[in-house]
Structure 1
Amino acid sequence: MRHLHQGLFGRLVLGLVLVSLCAVGVATLFLYTRFHGPHSLFYEGTLQGFAADILKDVTDGDGKLRAQVSEETRRRIAEAGGRFILLDIDGQKLAGSPEVTDPFIAFDPTSLSYFYFRLPASGTQPELFGLTGRIPNISSFAALQIVFPSGDIIFESVLHEFMKKIAWLWIPFLGLFLLTNIVVARLALRPLAQAVEQARAIQPGGVAVLLSEKGLPHDLLALVRTVNEAFIRLRQAYQLQEEFVADVAHELRTPLSVMKAQLAALDVPQARLLETDLGGMERLVEQMLDRARLGRFRIEPGDVVDLRDVARETAAFLAPQIVARGRLIEVVAGDQPVIVSGGRDDIFRAVRNLIENALEHSPANGTISVEITNVPAIAIRDCGPGFPAQVLDAEWRRSGLVRSDRRDGAGLGLSIVERTMLAHGGELNLSNAPGGGCAEMRFPPAKKLIAHVS
């Protein structure tokens, strides 16, 4: 609740609650001013209501007038500060409040009228507002006079009746009103919530994704379209950057190859050192090209890969380099194909980057293990010291701030693998075990493809 006002939906809910409370306050104020006015019809209606209760107990049978006002009616009138008197044609009291013996005012037997009246020697007592008139529907003549204080007492009486018969409906009505509006607000904001989830799922390199505009209200649609236009501009800038990196990498490949060929013809120790440095530069250029290719990567229908074949091919490609540096490599795979949807060359380059990273951190005579699981996944394990803590954090890796501590390259290997897995709808999981580090490339399941390929 503390952070409810920070969200759009929370603000709507709080706004509805405030509006409801204001509505109750305004309605109460209206009732007070409407009922409390001295000349209000509600004063007259109140008097008539009490008069009706009295007249129910007045009967005229066998030519004899009977006025036996109930104790309940007497009590209610007394509690409200009122007084009443029933009079015959001679002005004599038939019934009434104990303290009243005479008419309040002279009465006209032909009409009903209202009057103001102040008791003699009343001092600070409030002015009374009263009703006087003949009792209808009886053969004998009788008149009724009833007075109440013209202050809050009549308002309280009306308010009591209102609260007892009407106002209690406000509670369920306001509850239903709030619930309905909250549901409507939630339904109206659901497309926006979906757009938020889509935006939250966008990863680096995913600027080609646009937020859905389906079902959005017009005012929110303008915001989402503006964001999509910004994504389009970012995509164009991103593509220009990737094209620039690819152009630079292509331009560097030829001179590097020429330099390596010239150094190979020289039989001096310095030439061998330069060849090693040029090898690192060539690998960096290849990684830059890999990143540029990922920017244009698309999985077409029918693009399927057996992870076992990719792992074996990559291990065979790197085996001479691994053996030359005094390490071993093994591929652990089952007899059944492990099929995923994706690009063979891109997965090959990702596995190559992970194996080369394992090679850099494995001790002499250590074994690099490439295991294919039915998750489906490819797990590369080494016997090294494991990954640094910041590299294990996937969000930190995707921020682009993590760089490998490899001697060659610029730390692009893990970044390339991360982007490759995002492009394939999978994920890269890094972990440390007592025996070394493990990098696992997890792909989304593709059960239907297994039967198709096999």
Structure 2
Amino acid sequence: MLLIAAALGVVALFHESDQTADTLRREELLRRAEELARLIDRTPDGTVRVRLTQGLEQVFNNPGATDLFVVRSDGGNILATSRPELAPATNGWPPATAEPRYARVRGFGADSREYCTLGLRADSPVGPVSIVVARALVADTLAHTVLKDFARDITWAILLFALAILAVGIWSIRRGLDPLRAVSARAATIGPEITGVRLSGDGLPSELLPLVSGFNQALDRLERGLILQREFTANAAHQLRTPLAILTAQLEHLADSRSVQLLRGDAARMNRLVEQLLRVARLDSVPPSQDVVELNALAAHAVRGLAPWAIGQKRMIGLDDPGLPVWVSGTADAVEDALRNLIENAVAYSPPQTEVTVTVLAEGAVSISDHGSGIPEQDRPRIFERFWRGRAAQGAGAGLGLAIVAQVAAAHGGSVEVEETPGGGATFTLRLKSVANNQTAPPRNRVAANH
């Protein structure tokens, strides 16, 4: 915008130079007309004449003069003129009035020049007269040239000045925005898992300090709300555990019947939901510690724990490992909990008499593949949201299992993704931070098969 303004300024400068030249020319013609009106008198024989001063003699009567004047009576008769041979040709020029009247006449005279004319009706010693003064525009060439040369020279100064201002402005703005960028980067780190971060007003303009203060106050209120929500979830889950445990124990002592079996299933689902709520509360309130764990051992332990249940569901679970230790950064309980949720989900959606394959990858990832109906493309962006269940969801789950997996992955700096299994089904891959040199035990705290 600054460069555009500079360019417009240059255009305006050239336009103003032309306007200035025209104004100077008109002012000069007006002064001459007024001076001529004062110099008119009569000779003893009654002839009207103009007693030109020495300066006007040089203007109107020198060889090659490009200026002329014509004095007329109110009736239009020529009383005096500096160029008798051209005076008759001025009859068609605009008539003079009490106000100066400017005009341009083209093709005037033997050389067909362009003239700038001024007509003025003024009082003189011999009475009211009409005076017309004219000047060939070629005579103003020098003035126009000087003005245009000045405008051309000043243009470079304007452009250089504009560029200097632009450079200084960009540098000043960028430097002034550095503290704002730092605050923005700090704000980008704030999330549900990290709510204790607050913005600093150091180095910011005073105008932005109220915004930072208001933002920090809003974060304080959000943090208090999240804490209350987490405490409510954890307390509610804890309060439900005891009556559910009592209910489950009492159902075990009842004689088997269809109704009792249904009640036992409902109780099992309620127990699982309570455990998941407690798990979510723990993940929300305390970030997992970053130990180094062996992924093969965690996957094997999860498969062994879920194999009897899967067989009871008429499904099988297979485990493939790369044949060497796979050390990753994470918390054993949290990572195994994520694996169990993925395996349970795969078993629940697999057809009977099929196998769920758990594959440990050397780069620090675990893939769980099933051969069920798969996950529709439109549902994949939302399957990791809490309490979200698609239309094709099976069983009586609450929609927390995959959300826990996603939260564990995020807390460990990893990721979880889903894709279609070749031949049909879904494959979930949990990726964690691999620890270098998987062949040997890392020097940090290690957890292998300590279950």
Q: Give the TM-score range, shorter chain.
A: 0.5 to 0.7
Deviations 1:124-174 (A, max 9, x none): 5457xxxxxxxxxxxxxxxxxxx998x997874443021332213333442
Q: Which of the numbers 271, 281, 293 marks the counterpart of 1:282?
A: 271
Matched position secondary structure for 1:305: strand
**SS of structure 1 residue aligned to 2:211:** helix
Aligned to 1:76: none
TM superposition shift of 1:205: 4.5
Q: For the residues of structure 2 that align with 1:200 and 1:445, how far apart are their CA atoms?
A: 25
Give the conservation status (yes or no) of the 8 Å contact 1:350–1:417.
Answer: yes
Equivalent pair of 2:387/2:400 in contact (CA under 8 Å): no
Number of positions where the alignment pairs a residue of Structure 1 with one of Structure 2: 357
Question: Do the aligned partners of residues 418 and 185 (structure 1) sit closer, same or farther apart at CA in structure 2, a change above 3 Å counting?
Answer: same
The structure-2 alpha-carbon separation of the partners of 1:390 and 1:196, relative to structure 1 and needing over 3 Å to count, comes to farther
Counterpart amino acid of residue 273 in structure 2: L
Q: SS state of the match for residue 356, structure 2?
A: strand
Q: Which amino acid aligns with 1:279?
A: A
| Structure 1: unaligned runs, 5 residues or longer | 1-13, 44-86, 103-117, 128-146
Q: Which residue of 1 aligns with 2:408?
A: 420
AA aligned to 1:311 is A
1:63 matched to which residue of 2? none
Q: Does 1:182 align with 2:170?
A: yes
Rounded to whole Å, the distance in 1 between the matches of 2:334 and 2:11 is 68
The reply to whether residue 390 of structure 1 matches residue 378 of structure 2 is yes
Aligned partners of 2:240 and 2:345: how far apart in 1? 23
SS state of the match for residue 278, structure 2? helix
Q: 2:442 aligned with 1:451, yes or no?
A: yes
Alignment match of 2:429 (pick from 440, 446, 450): 440
Partner of 1:232: 220
CA–CA distance in 2 between the matches of 1:272 and 1:92? Answer: 129
Alpha carbons 1:426, 1:443 under 8 Å: kept: yes
SS in 2 for 1:98: coil
Equivalent residue in structure 1 for 2:312, among 318, 321, 324: 324
Question: How far did 1:202 drift?
Answer: 5.3
The SS at the match of 1:452 is coil
CA-to-partner distance for each residue in 1:302-326, whole Å, 9 max, x for gaps? 6222222221121122121112111
Deviation at 1:422, TM superposition (A): 1.3
Identity fraction in percent: 32
User: Does structure 1 conserve the Cα–Cα contact (< 8 Å) formed by 2:369 and 2:427?
Assistant: yes
1:409 Cα offset (Å): 2.1
Q: 1:229 to 1:306 in 2, by over 3 A?
A: farther
| CA distance in 2: counterparts of 1:225 and 1:256, whole angstroms | 46
Could you say what the CA RMSD is over the residues aligned between the two structures, in angstroms? Answer: 4.1
Larger radius of gyration: 2
Which residue number corresponds to residue 66 of structure 1? Answer: none
TM-score, normalization by structure 1: 0.66
Q: Does 2:303 align with 1:315? A: yes
In 1, the alpha carbon distance for the partners of 2:247 and 2:363 equals: 45
Q: Mark the runs of 5 or more structure 2 residues left unpaired by the alignment.
A: 29-53, 69-80, 94-102, 104-115, 119-134, 447-451
Shift of 1:289: 0.6
In the alignment, what sits opposite 1:378? 366
2:232 and 2:144 map into 1 onto residues whose CA distance is 83
Distance 1:185 1:155, change over 3 A: farther
1:271 to 260, 271, 291: 260
Q: Alpha-carbon deviation of 1:362?
A: 0.9
The structural deviation recorded for 1:355 is 0.9
Match of 2:238 in 1: 250
Once the two structures are superposed, the pairs formed by residues 24-423 of structure 1 within 5 Å of their partners are 98-99=64-65, 125-126=116-117, 156-193=144-181, 195-196=183-184, 199=187, 205-210=193-198, 216-269=204-257, 270-300=259-289, 303-393=291-381, 396-397=382-383, 400=386, 402-403=388-389, 405-423=393-411
Q: Distance in 1 between matches of 2:388 and 2:435?
A: 31
**Residue identity matched to 1:440:** T
